[in-house]
Structure 1
């Protein structure tokens, strides 16, 4: 199979573009000459992203949970496109922290509607455009939590495992149909974004009484990758024709544990986390 064309200079769509990885992707690809169509439910953050770019930009306030509005956005993008669409990054995501025992169904539904159904709606809205072109990529953001199950992250893990399964199934369908359109899964590790600070947390599931801000600060202290670095890794992975992109050293650890010890990885991770927290305490 020949190596795909570079994304640089070619149009892309990015959801979740108001901050984090989405903003970093928009900044990177726009700087390389790509026209970017950006969407997010956060209008202020979306406008801030667009204002920092210098190339051609289309912005759309969009709730990815709305399948009909995703279809309308895809039609708007198709009318706006100055050239064939290179890639669609279904990147929008949120977090919930809770034990299964204490889970609130409204919180879980909110997360699943954004993290999984939002990806499905985005894929279904833009896939016909890519298939008609005969090229392009659907790039769906899963997580390292789509590789391993983690305590107090059942809703998030379920959605990210679902994104992984959905995208891998799509990849096989496209291959069997002889299509040159690609389906790519991205598995970021800990990225320094606002996702933990914007998470829904009713109470500390560990029983330690931490506030949401304290829990977010502890998460951020353990992140290993900046949004800009994540964007560079994702861009390089798409350009190299990868079907699955691991982002950050912790992503490679999670992937290795899923392969080597698929039922006992928590013991290894617990030791790693204990050591990292001990180092932070010593500092």
Structure 2
């Protein structure tokens, strides 16, 4: 199988902003044909226009990855449009954070798992037959450093990202067992400069939840101190990993260091994350 993305049809979910948008641009620059989707039609259109300006053929669609039937229809549409599908980047995600387990509303869990976990499962299952048929397929599922390190007030997000890790590793084992022509890459980004922290507040308001002073302060700390790597750099690392055939891509020194911490102190790291939580955010406003 050929790891290069040149000439291949690549699907990117959540391509309207952040890492997904930049992955689409990197793929376009490297000669891939694209199918991009998002729930934000305006921002998706901006991504598509820029990708076309970079020379890519682009198929666009409004898509909520949490809608199983819609994802299945989308996979059929992309295959019909391009004639073949080689790669799926299951990138779409939401933060689903900012509240403790005691505080969190059921709607937060429902929506976070629908997008972050079932969105990945929907995309993988809908496109996998097409990837196998291509003879040169690749599934790229985006987890997080919170796919192996849990933090306070991120229970829904961590649950989804830990599950993406397990699902993806099981998929890889199946592809190897059956000797099917599909590589599988699991991506663990660290702090990347996207609007994911700010969008937490918007998501809360959409659910009728008024953000607390603590949540507002948390968002500010994330945006100013923790989300540091440019999304363009993260996207290059991801596509480089795909082209290298890497089964696992950790994006950023924070992702690598978190991985080392959990491996070194599997029982003790929660105390360290709790201490860091108090130092960064305190407990006021909860």
Verify same fold: TM over 0.5: yes
Query: Unmatched 5+ residue regions in structure 2?
Result: 282-286
Matches of 2:4 and 2:153 in 1, distance apart?
A: 39
1:224 aligns with 2:228: yes
Q: List, as ranges, runs of 4+ consecutive aligned residues in structure 1 with deviation greater than 6 Å.
A: 271-277
- Which among 224, 246, 254 is matched to residue 242 of structure 1? 246
Alignment root-mean-square deviation, CA: 2.0
Matches of 2:277 and 2:232 in 1, distance apart?
A: 25
Matches of 2:229 and 2:92 in 1, distance apart?
A: 18
Matches of 1:116 and 1:17 in 2, distance apart?
A: 17
After TM superposition, list the pairs within 5 Å mapping 1:22-41 onto structure 2: 22-41=20-39
Q: Alignment partner of 1:52: what SS?
A: helix
8 A Cα contact 1:98 1:203, kept in partner: no
8 A Cα contact 1:89 1:138, kept in partner: yes
Query: Unmatched 5+ residue regions in structure 1?
Result: 278-283
Quickly say closer, same or farther: Cα 1:132–1:114, change in 2 above 3 A.
same
8 A Cα contact 1:98 1:204, kept in partner: no
8 A Cα contact 2:3 2:242, kept in partner: no
Shift of residue 275, structure 1, vs aligned partner: 8.2
Matches of 1:19 and 1:165 in 2, distance apart?
A: 26
8 A Cα contact 2:5 2:31, kept in partner: no
8 A Cα contact 2:100 2:152, kept in partner: yes
Once the two structures are superposed, what CA deviation does each residue of 1:206-262 show, in whole Å capped at 9, x if it has no partner? xxx3353x4222102222311101000001111111111100110001110121111
Once the two structures are superposed, what CA deviation does each residue of 1:86-128 show, in whole Å capped at 9, x if it has no partner? 3100000001221001110011101100000011000010000
Q: Alignment partner of 1:115: what SS?
A: helix
Shift of residue 135, structure 1, vs aligned partner: 1.9
Matches of 1:149 and 1:187 in 2, distance apart?
A: 13
8 A Cα contact 1:224 1:248, kept in partner: no
Shift of residue 204, structure 1, vs aligned partner: 6.6
1:88 aligns with 2:92: no
8 A Cα contact 2:11 2:87, kept in partner: yes
2:64 alignment partner in structure 1:
63
TM-score where L is the length of structure 2: 0.88
Matches of 2:211 and 2:257 in 1, distance apart?
A: 26
2:162 alignment partner in structure 1:
161
TM-score where L is the length of structure 1: 0.89
Shift of residue 203, structure 1, vs aligned partner: 6.3
Aligned residue-pair number: 270
Shift of residue 198, structure 1, vs aligned partner: 0.8
1:280 alignment partner in structure 2:
none
Matches of 1:98 and 1:231 in 2, distance apart?
A: 29
2:15 alignment partner in structure 1:
17
Task: Say which structure is richer in helix.
Answer: 2
Matches of 2:211 and 2:153 in 1, distance apart?
A: 9
8 A Cα contact 1:88 1:137, kept in partner: yes
Matches of 1:192 and 1:126 in 2, distance apart?
A: 29
1:48 aligns with 2:33: no
